[in-house]
Amino acid sequence: MASNSSNGDHQTSTKQPPLPSPLRFSKFFQSNMRILVTGGAGFIGSHLVDRLMENEKNEVIVADNYFTGSKDNLKKWIGHPRFELIRHDVTEPLLIEVDQIYHLACPASPIFYKYNPVKTIKTNVIGTLNMLGLAKRVGARFGFLLYFQRNLKCCYKLFLIGSNFLDRILLTSTSEVYGDPLVHPQPESYWGNVNPIGVRSCYDEGKRVAETLMFDYHRQHGLEIRIARIFNTYGPRMNIDDGRVVSNFIAQALRGEPLTVQSPGTQTRSFCYVSDMVDGLIRLMEGPNTGPINLGNPGEFTMVELAETVKELINPKVEIKMVENTPDDPRQRKPDISQAKELLGWEPKIKLRDGLPRMEEDFRLRLGVDKSN
């Protein structure tokens, strides 16, 4: 038995691998687009997955280590034939075949990215290197040489199929690359004012290196890249105890606890609703521009104004309490979105006053607090 099977194995290994199914060459064959979303179990990632899954030609693969994300965010897709979920840490290489990569994996809330700063910087630098390595490996090469040697006609047909795809990788960078900005609002041409050794550096310097790596792979290896600089985004599915300001204020208002404004409260942010953000990311991926492109809502609010709005809309009885701030908190932030408007035809549609009640609804459900309370 043993010798038979080893003979058999030997014979098989000298055989050429089989050609792709003849169905691939049929007139009506249309291959699906395989899209990898790293960090797809997180807040923005899971909304992006929902949108990508709406297109029946998309197969979506999520790779996530569940540090700040959860399978719960993807529960409606688990078991779907066009969906796959992989527990994977992007600091380790990933060997799969994909046509596009949305690279989001990275904790985004300051509390979580400061929790293990070394891991945060590894996620940004090694994680991005691994995803660029994957993009380079699968990028538009398609094993032509092998097929060329074997079958010229087949190679031509594969070329026709392959040329339907433009392999691309999109990085979700951040407005934090502008640090504590001295230019206001921030255009993409501003190089920023970042503390390289501060407690936020693991994230903001990490994202700056990630942007550098994207452009180096683009220039050196011809990779198709896209970079979105995302400004503060909010909406349903944010972790309730995520620590970011909008989720904190809504959870506090619903629990009847004081809204904790970190001093001085005059610092500003611009808040974009998540469906607008997802729309911007997909337009950037599909369009011809590499970026970096700012994506955000230019409506600018102080943290006291935000607290007052949440109080008015959700629970007029709660107090607003001033608490101590954390180091290096940017004093002002507002995106200049002229490029997004001009190059992507994109601008956000949902105002803060319309987005907050949608998020309130989701938080009420998850916290089990109904409207009458």
- Give the catalytic positions in this structure: 203
H/E stretch holding 86 reads strand 83-87
- DSSP H or E segment with residue 149: helix 144-150
* Binding partner selected for residue 329 from ligand UDX, ligand NAD, none, CB under the kind-specific 5 to 8 Å limit: ligand UDX
Give least dist CB 356 to ligand UDX, A: 14
Stretch (H or E) spanning 157: helix 152-162
Cβ closer to ligand UDX: 36 or 108? 108
Reported as type and span, the H/E element at residue 126 is: helix 117-138
88 or 269: whose CB is closer to ligand UDX? 269
- Out of 303, 337, 344, 356, the only residue in the binding site for ligand UDX (CB under 6 A) is 303
Question: Taking each helix axis from N to C terminus, what angle separates 352-367 and 245-255, rounded to the nearest 10 degrees?
Answer: 60
Q: x/- site string to ligand UDX, residues 154 to 193, per CB under 6 A? A: --------------------xxx-----------------
DSSP code per residue over 273-337? EHHHHHHHHHHHHHSS----EEES---EEEHHHHHHHHHHHH-TT--EEEE---TT--S---B--
Q: Which residue among 100, 128, 130, 172 contacts ligand NAD (CB under 6 A)?
A: 172
Residue 269 found at the interface with ligand UDX (CB under 6 A): yes
74-87 CB burial, b ≥16 within 10 A, e <16 = beebeeeebbbbee
At 262, the amino acid letter reads Q
The entry of ligand NAD, ligand UDX, none that residue 280 binds, CB within 5 to 8 Å by partner kind: none
Least distance CB 123 / ligand NAD (angstroms): 4
Residues 98 to 117 in contact with ligand UDX, rule: CB under 6 A: 108-110
Residue placing its CB nearer to ligand UDX in the complex, 147 or 249: 249
**Are 328 and 199 spatial neighbours (Cβ–Cβ below 8 Å)?**
yes
Identify the burial level of 96 via C-beta atoms within 10 angstroms of its C-beta, where 0-12 means exposed, 13-18 middle and 19 or more buried: middle
Q: How far is the CB of 136 from ligand NAD (least distance, A)?
A: 19
Least separation in angstroms between CB 320 and ligand NAD: 22
Does position 64 interact with ligand NAD (CB under 6 A)? The reply is yes
User: Smallest gap, in angstroms, from Cβ of residue 89 to ligand NAD?
Assistant: 4
What is the token pair recorded at 86? 């992989």
Name the CA radius of gyration of the chain, rounded. 23
Residue ranges in contact with ligand NAD by CB under 6 A: 38-39, 41-45, 64-69, 89-91, 104-108, 123, 127, 172, 174, 230, 232-233
Residue ranges in contact with ligand UDX by CB under 6 A: 108-110, 174-176, 232, 244-245, 248, 260-262, 267, 269, 303, 325, 329
